[in-house]
């Protein structure tokens, strides 16, 4: 029976990536090894997040718990786990984490060809109240492994080799693209394995939801203001859109990918470049959206065409269903 086959033939994320990589004759398994270390980090964070209240992991870094032990804040802890796992994979040469001001250059004896840009625990405002948070990552290839430089990191998003996120929500979901579509995996806690549950994810061409922090509306520019006005008071006879906003990019993007719609973090008068970071927030999510048949725009151009000048640079972003992003693009074009 098909149902039996489904239950006994488990497509784990490792098996899936091995299958994908076997298309490249030059593949030596390095990418699979790198990914398994990212997956390890995600499993650790997933377990830490679900035990956070229990273990009193939550609290300000430097605070002590009832046993008098120093507590590490969940995001600091997550960062340490990812950095150590990535370095020990022996497959990375440069790491850029939202938590670390400077890029980490891996020492020559542990060096590999990959650059990983990541936000180990995104959605910090949602940690303490148990709302979904996530990890976001992007992977580039270094030009010269023996001589890695910051220029290798400051590449446009279209050069990404792979990108993904892991959402720590009601279940733990890892969404990944290695450049040939998007696949979603759910952690089976009893196996400790991510199992393919959402093969070849495609975002609906048009959505019924918009997602934005409307508390910033006072400071928005004209195109964003007009776009949101149209979501609420459509003039073309279509019904108004629903608003959903978690405030964790991973959760808001995941819902957008599954249900369709648009997620926006625009520029405003107080933050002329928006809030989200190019390398480990805007790029990976834009890459996934394009791979799923959607679009990502930054107010000026295709988001993935941006060439960052600094590792922690920010950019406005509008991403989601193809048709919805077309609309905001048209409004920006008209405002020029």
The site for Mg ion (CB under 5 A) is made up of 119, 122
As a whole number of angstroms, the distance between CA 113 and CA 33 comes to 12
Q: Which of residues 4-23 bind ligand AHM (CB under 6 A)?
A: none
Task: For ligand AHM, give the closer residue by CB, 5 or 60.
Answer: 60
Task: For Mg ion, give the closer residue by CB, 20 or 122.
Answer: 122
What is residue 333's three-state secondary structure? Answer: helix
- DSSP assignment of 160-212: -SEEEEEEESSSEEEEEESSS--EEEEEETTTTEEEEEE-S----SS-SEEE-
Task: For ligand AHM, give the closer residue by CB, 46 or 93.
Answer: 46
Q: Which does 282 bind (CB under 5 to 8 A by kind): ligand AHM, Mg ion, none?
A: none
Task: For ligand AHM, give the closer residue by CB, 275 or 329.
Answer: 275
Task: For Mg ion, give the closer residue by CB, 122 or 152.
Answer: 122
The least distance separating ligand AHM from the CB of residue 249, rounded to whole angstroms, comes to 3
Q: Which of residues 123-142 bind ligand AHM (CB under 6 A)?
A: 123-125
Q: Can residue 275 be called a binding residue for ligand AHM (CB under 6 A)?
A: yes
Q: Which of residues 204-233 bind ligand AHM (CB under 6 A)?
A: 213
Please name the residues in contact with 253: beta carbons below 8 A apart, sequence gap of 6 or more: 165, 263, 285, 288, 289, 319
C-beta separation of 253 from 209 below 8 A: no
Contacting ligand AHM (CB under 6 A), which of 166, 176, 209, 249?
249
Q: Can residue 122 be called a binding residue for ligand AHM (CB under 6 A)?
A: yes
Task: For ligand AHM, give the closer residue by CB, 63 or 214.
Answer: 214
Q: Can residue 173 be called a binding residue for ligand AHM (CB under 6 A)?
A: no
C-beta separation of 265 from 219 below 8 A: no
Relative to beta strand 209-211, strand 262-265 is parallel
Scanning 83-91, 110-118, 170-178, 241-249 for contacts with ligand AHM by CB under 6 A, the matching segment is: 241-249
Phi and psi, residue 81, nearest 5°: -65, -45
């Amino acid at each position: 029976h098909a149902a039996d086959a489904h239950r006994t033939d488990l497509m784990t994320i490792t098996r899936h990536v091995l299958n994908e990589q076997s298309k490249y004759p030059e593949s030596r398994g390095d990418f699979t090894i790198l990914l398994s270390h990212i997956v390890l980090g995600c499993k650790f964070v997933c377990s830490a997040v679900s035990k956070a209240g229990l273990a009193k992991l939550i609290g300000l870094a430097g605070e002590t718990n009832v046993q008098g032990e120093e507590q590490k804040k969940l995001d600091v802890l997550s960062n340490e786990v990812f950095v150590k796992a990535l370095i020990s994979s022996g497959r990375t040469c440069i790491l850029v984490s939202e938590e670390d001001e400077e890029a980490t250059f891996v020492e020559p004896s542990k060096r590999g060809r990959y650059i990983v840009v990541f936000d180990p625990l995104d959605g910090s405002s949602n940690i303490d109240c148990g709302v979904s948070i996530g990890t976001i990552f992007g992977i580039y290839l270094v030009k010269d492994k023996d001589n890695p430089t910051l220029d290798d990191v400051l590449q446009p998003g279209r050069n990404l080799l792979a990108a993904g996120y892991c959402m720590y929500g009601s279940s733990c979901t890892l969404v990944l693209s290695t450049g040939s579509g998007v696949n979603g995996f759910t952690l089976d806690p009893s196996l400790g394995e991510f199992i393919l549950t959402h093969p070849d994810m495609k975002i609906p061409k048009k959505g019924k939801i918009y997602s934005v922090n409307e508390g910033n509306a006072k400071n928005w520019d004209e195109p964003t203001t007009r776009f949101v006005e149209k979501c609420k008071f459509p003039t073309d006879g279509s019904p108004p859109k629903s608003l959903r906003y978690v405030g964790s990019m991973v959760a808001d993007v995941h819902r957008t990918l599954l249900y369709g719609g648009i997620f926006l973090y625009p520029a405003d008068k107080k933050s002329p470049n928006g809030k989200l970071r190019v390398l480990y927030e805007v790029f990976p999510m834009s890459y996934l959206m394009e791979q799923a048949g959607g679009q990502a725009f930054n107010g000026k151009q295709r988001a993935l065409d941006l060439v960052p000048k600094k590792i922690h640079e920010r950019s406005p972003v509008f991403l989601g269903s193809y048709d919805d992003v077309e609309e905001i693009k048209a409004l920006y074009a008209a405002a020029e």
